Amino acid sequence: MSDDRTQQDSTSSDGTSRGLNRRHFLAAAGTGATAAVAGCTGLDGGGGSDTIKIGGVYLLSGIAQALGTSSANAAEVAVKQINENGGINGKDIEIEVRDHGEDPQAQIRSLAQEFNADVMIGLTSSGVTLASAPTIESLGVPFTLTDIGTPYITEPDTESYGNYFESDSGRAAFTPNMFRTNSNTSHMTYAIAKYVADNYGESRVANMGPDYAYGQQCWDYFKAYSEGLGMNHEYVTSEFPSLGASDMTPQINSVLSADPDLLFTSFWAGDATTFISQAAEQGLFEEVDDVFDTIGADPTVYEALGDTTPEGIHMSGWYWPTAYDNENNQAFLDAYREEFQDDDTTPSIPGFTGGSTYAAIYMYKKAIEAAGGTNPEDVISELEGITIDNDPRGQTTIKEDTHQATAPCVIGETSFDADVPYDGAGLVNTQTYTLTRERSLELLDGSGLGPGL
């Protein structure tokens, strides 16, 4: 971790302590370069006070390329819509999105200090987020997370859970200029634990997940919520293949040997594809009653798997296109389809990071207009407690004390009957879940884990 660590300790009553062309974009990202949209007319935004500048940092190469690209695509759609309708305070938005690369903190600093971003969006890794938080705080620019699982970053109660930046056991990493529009690991694992409790009861449960902060936290939270819901599951094995592992057969064999009823997993992007394809080859899906995954439900995963995806398992995400029946979601889907229907390198429906990224751009629009400009302190003040009216998932609110959005998450069944614009499975029978901080505190009591809600 960086040495410039800070602590926030104020306590509240609820227990808290205080026109981007994709082909050109990916080509640029692959060489460490950047791409920008200014008024959707070209790469030169004019600079100065003539535009509102948004900087973005996502993984745009390697295992998570699809997720970072999905976020960039959704941001592009929102920027284009806003610019075509008068911009923000009469100014066009100029957006520049970069790959994490090997030094994400350097990219963040450059966007803030050289590109002069007024506000920022990102990231695509819980580990990168926690490592980057001190840098982001020192820059003071409002930064909204649109695809980050770790609950720690929106958990301010250092008295109860310890300061992440000051203790190896700390689990509260709240950072005052950081916000989050996606649901998070705490919420998602609650949803799966609740579904299991309601539909299967006490079971023999195995785990597989990537061997880093996200996978480990998912398993910890799932077990804690299951206990809080009164489930006395038997946990028969837990396997953590390395992030980006090309061979998961040893871990899959271990799961098969443990003979579980249910398998809980936390794979995403390329890891989800690897796991499902290799598990199918080894007959795992015929040997268990169900498999659950936290954020593997993404069109790029299902398209890559083709006819390999087993039907009837339960996969989840921050967003699934058909899970939300409202005008804002339809407007997002129509605009996304129009923008990418002729691009054979990406599905013409948004990925699971799409809804939260699209919402973040509109959230910034509302906050900057209310603040009357881009002064960071004024924008941050407006973001605290803001209601996002244009959210495809339905109206959501940023909690003032935690900076976490009241966003739902979605669980669905895999099926080849899903209405998708590619050859592969999708989700049907989707269910959305919400969770309050107060209920989370009750369920997690005694676990040492903070809600992050």
Burial class (CB in 10 A: 0-12, 13-18, 19+), 44: exposed
Considering the domain architecture, whether residues 189 and 283 belong to the same structural domain is answered as yes
* pLDDT of 111: 98
**pLDDT (tens digit, 9 = 90+) per residue, 42-68?**
333 333 469 999 999 999 988 788 889
- Total domains in the chain come to 2
Are the CB atoms for 133 and 125 separated by under 8 Å? no
Identify the bridge partners of residue 235 per DSSP, sorted by sequence position: 205
N residues, the chain = 453
Does residue 126 fall inside a structural domain? yes
Residues 6+ apart with CB under 8 A from 359: 146, 181, 388, 390, 391, 392, 393, 396, 405, 407
pTM for this structure? 0.89
User: Which among 213, 156, 210, 207 has a CA at the least distance from the CA of 179?
Assistant: 156
Q: How far is CA 420 from the centre of its chain?
A: 21
268 and 311 share one domain: yes
Q: Is residue 14 part of a domain?
A: no
In this structure, the answer to whether residues 207 and 135 fall within a common structural domain is no
Averaged over successive runs of 10 residues, the pLDDT of the chain (453 residues) comes to: 32 35 31 39 45 96 86 97 97 97 95 98 93 98 97 98 96 98 98 98 98 94 98 98 97 98 96 97 98 96 97 97 96 96 88 97 98 98 97 98 97 97 97 97 97 98
Per-residue model confidence (pLDDT) at position 47: 39
* DSSP line for 353-414: THHHHHHHHHHHHHHHHHHTS--HHHHHHHHTT-EETT-TTS-EEB-TTT-BB---EEEEEE
Cα–Cα distance measured from residue 448 to residue 453, given in angstroms and rounded to the nearest whole number: 15
State whether 378 and 251 are in the same domain. Answer: no
- Looking at the structure, tell me whether residues 248 and 330 fall in a common domain: no
Q: Are residues 289 and 426 in the same domain?
A: yes
Whether 403 maps to a domain, the answer reads no
User: Could you tell me if 33 and 172 lie in one domain?
Assistant: yes
On whether both 200 and 266 belong to a single domain, the answer is yes
What span, in angstroms and rounded, lies between the C-alpha atoms of 269 and 378? 37
Has residue 4 been placed in a domain?
no
Residue 8 counted as domain residue: no
- For residue 360, tell me if it sits in a domain: yes
Give the 3-state secondary structure of residue 325.
coil
Asked if residue 450 belongs to a domain, the reply is no
Q: What's the Rg (C-alpha) of the chain?
A: 21
261 and 225 together in one domain: yes
Same domain for 289 and 175: no
Residues 50, 72, single domain; the answer is yes
69: CATH: 3.40.50.2300
Other CB atoms within a 10 A radius of the CB of residue 110 amount to: 17
Q: Please check whether residue 453 lies inside any domain of the structure.
A: no
pLDDT of residue 293: 98
Q: Which domain holds residue 369?
A: 22-182+326-397
Give the pLDDT confidence score for residue 33 in this predicted structure.
37
φ/ψ of 239, rounded to 5, equals -125, 135
Looking at the structure, tell me whether residues 439 and 377 fall in a common domain. no
